[in-house]
């Protein structure tokens, strides 16, 4: 899955073999591109194949973005990143054990248990984080600074597990 500061996170990459990969958009079961809320008309426009090569810890994808060759550094066979473009491709399976969003307050991380969905329908409500709820009880916009990090910014500041996003809370002085 792609997380980027420069474009919508609306695609993923699938490796076909040791030299070909396919770039695909996120598509719901209803045939919609989730990021654009638009019906997909034909598969020819959405699935694009690219040649790639691996050398040491670098993957080069040829004629990838706007027709240019792009290099991504591979980290621990877990993700690959291009810091110049502020893009990171992560393994979706790594995030099945983590909730998607976290809150940081006074060097502690509190995970938010988001609702479970199936085809866009909530099937199970998320549980309240009681510790975070207790902390937030007396917080207001007057006494709290809130900074939201998402995509590559969240990854760069907080690490791989936080690529979906993190909310940083600080007490105003």
- Write the pLDDT tens digit of every residue in 56-76: 999 999 998 778 999 999 998
In percent, how much of the chain has pLDDT > 90? 36
pLDDT tens per residue, range 2-31: 888 876 657 888 899 999 999 888 654 344
d(CA 16, CA 21): 5
Contact status, residue 155 vs residue 165, Cβ threshold 8 Å: no
Q: What is the dihedral of CA 111, 114, 118, 119, to 10 degrees?
A: -110
pLDDT of residue 88 exceeding 80, the answer is yes
CA–CA separation, 57 vs 78, rounded Å? 12
């Amino acid at each position: 899955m792609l997380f980027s500061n420069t474009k919508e996170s609306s695609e993923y990459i699938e490796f076909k073999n040791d030299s070909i990969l396919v770039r695909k958009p996120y598509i719901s079961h209803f045939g919609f591109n989730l990021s654009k809320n638009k019906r997909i008309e034909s598969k020819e426009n959405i699935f694009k194949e690219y040649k790639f090569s691996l050398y040491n810890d670098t993957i080069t994808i040829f004629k990838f973005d706007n027709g240019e060759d792009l290099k991504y550094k591979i980290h621990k066979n877990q993700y690959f990143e291009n810091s110049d473009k502020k893009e990171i491709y992560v393994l979706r399976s790594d995030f099945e054990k983590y909730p998607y969003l976290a809150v940081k307050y006074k060097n502690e991380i509190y995970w938010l248990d988001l609702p479970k969905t199936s085809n866009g329908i909530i099937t199970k409500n998320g549980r309240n984080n009681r510790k975070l709820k207790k902390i937030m009880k007396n917080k207001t916009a007057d006494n709290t600074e809130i900074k939201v990090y998402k995509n590559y910014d969240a990854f760069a500041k907080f690490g791989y597990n936080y690529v979906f996003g993190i909310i940083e809370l600080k007490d105003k002085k």
